[in-house]
Structures are given as C-alpha cells and as structure tokens.
Amino acid sequence: MHAILFEASLGTEVGGPDVLREQLDHLVELSRLSSVSIQVLRFEAGAHLADSSGFALLTFEQDDRGRFLPRSPDVSDGGS
C-alpha cells in the first residue's frame, strides 16, 4: 500500500491529543512493514490539486508487445 498524507493531517486532532498520538504511533508501526510506503506532502510544496479534491494514482502494465495498458484499481485489494 502506498499512502500520501498532507502534512496538516498529521497534526489535526480529532478526538483529542491521546487519539492523535495513537494514530501517529499506528502510522509509524505501519511504515515499518515492507508492503507499506507512506509519504508526506509538505506545506512547502505549495498549492496542489488535492487541496480542493482528491486525486487518483493509476498503475500501468505492459502487454507482450510493450504497449502500456491501464489497470483499474481493484477495491478488494485496496487499489494496488
């Protein structure tokens, strides 16, 4: 799984400081798994499309002739 988190989301309390601490600890634990990649979109990145809406990452596979084919995310496997 690959997640991109906006920096503000790492400091926004929903449920109080103890809940935020547990959430951050959980992210740290998940980041140690080889199947998980977490990136932080920093404030310094400036304005981006995700400010007002989400975004989707697409995965492309190649067929036997070297053509790139879009692969639709599978909801059952988390889109990977």
User: What's phi and psi for 24, nearest 5 deg?
Assistant: -65, -40
* Residue 28 counted as domain residue: yes
DSSP-derived letter for residue 38 is E
* Residue 17 counted as domain residue: yes
| The pair of three-digit structure tokens given for residue 77, joined into one six-digit string | 């496997």
Domain range spanning residue 4? 1-45
* Residue 52 counted as domain residue: no
Task: Find the mean pLDDT for residues 52-74.
Answer: 69
pLDDT tens-place string over residues 1-18:
788 888 888 988 989 999
* Residue 56 counted as domain residue: no
> What is the model's pLDDT at position 17?
93
* Count of the separate structural domains present in the chain: 1
* Residue 63 counted as domain residue: no
pLDDT tens-place string over residues 20-53:
999 999 999 999 988 888 999 888 877 766 666 6
* Residue 40 counted as domain residue: yes
Contacts of 22 (CB under 8 A, 6+ apart): none
The model carries a pTM of: 0.56
> What is the model's pLDDT at position 61?
75
